[in-house]
Amino acid sequence: MTKAPIHFAAASDLAKAVGHWQGWLSGEKRASPHTIDGYGRDLAAFFTFLIGHLGGEADLAALMALSPADFRAFLAARQHDGLSRSSMARQMSTLRGFFQFLDHHDYGHNPAIGAVKAPRPPKSVPKALSADAALETLDQAALLQDEPWLAARDVALFTLLYGCGLRLGEALAMTGRDRPKADAMVITGKGRKQRLVPVLPLVRQAIDDYVGQCPFAIGADDPLFVGARGKGLNPGVVQRQMRKMRPLLGLPDSATPHALRHSFATHLLAGGGDLRTIQELLGHATLSTTQRYTKVDAERLTRAYRDAHPRARNP
């Protein structure tokens, strides 16, 4: 079903500037029609508000005269209309972009919007899978690929995410040199911070099985996880595999690769792991240099991990 065309309640000079902006979004920024339509509706909502707020259709001069209080009044009106904080933040982002365009293309300059803080969208709390669902995910991963080596790759990757609590980006950044060969490995995470992560034999075995079946040679500096053509694995492929698993296992939309990392932490905590140890395993502690590892009791981390992790108890 086609959407109704957007009506911009604005004076002719402003309407012309909007047309220029939409053409610029399409031609210069390569924005999709869907994106341009969304931006247009955000702008139309603002112009409609200005009719009541200013007593008539706005022109470019009126826009250049707006104060921070005017933008805050718009946010208050949108909140009164029941708009979510996420939607209000998006509309303010659209307005900032439009005013920047007007400034850069010599329509006029008004820095007032820069003084207005958009509502912060609520942070979504990642949802953990149940221990059974997490383990079923590892098993199901083997069934979604026709090529045995790709199935082994997916099993290895999902086992690594859940068994070691890695971020997807951390796992995909691993090279052949990073392939775990002992009971612990060093992972470089956000901000180049390093942490020591225990590795269960099951995780190591899954990765060894994958490497043994992979038709591409994985050198020390090559990506550990590769796609069908031997290049570094794209995160979108991993996310797509999780989407395929959801209906098969009856999992919610929150079942993402990152949910396996969250499940790792939640299940360790539920199994008696202490918060400080889990913080270290997730990379939220300040373990930023290799010298710092001399102060870390690797045996303690490994023991707490093996005692609490469901996959360690149920191989």
pLDDT of residue 277: 52
pLDDT of residue 5: 61
pLDDT of residue 289: 25
> Pick the catalytic residue: 244, 258, 292, 306?
258
For residue 5, tell me if it sits in a domain. no
Same domain, 203 and 92: no
> Pick the catalytic residue: 20, 193, 293, 306?
293
Report how many domains make up the chain: 2
pLDDT of residue 284: 46
Residues of the chain with pLDDT under 70: 1-5, 121-126, 191, 264-305, 307-315
Please write down the HEC assignment for all residues of the chain.
CCCCCCCCCECHHHHHHHHHHHHHHHHCCCCCHHHHHHHHHHHHHHHHHHHHHHCCCECHHHHHCCCHHHHHHHHHHHHHCCCCHHHHHHHHHHHHHHHHHHHHCCCCCCHHHHHCCCCCCCCCCCCCCCHHHHHHHHHHHCCCCCCHHHHHHHHHHHHHHHHHCCCHHHHHCCEHHHCCCCCEEEEECHHHCEEEEECCHHHHHHHHHHHHHCCCCCCCCCECCECCCCCECCHHHHHHHHHHHHHHHCCCCCCCHHHHHHHHHHHHHHCCCCHHHHHHHHCCCCCCCHHHHHHCCHHHHHHHHHHHCHHHHCC
pLDDT of residue 211: 97
Annotated catalytic, 262?
Answer: no
> Pick the catalytic residue: 72, 105, 181, 190?
190
pLDDT of residue 313: 59
State the CATH number of the domain containing residue 30.
1.10.150.130
Domain span at residue 73 reads: 12-115
State the CATH number of the domain containing residue 175.
1.10.443.10
Same domain, 137 and 279: yes
Annotated catalytic, 39?
Answer: no
- Say whether pTM exceeds 0.75: no
pLDDT of residue 122: 59
Annotated catalytic, 117?
Answer: no
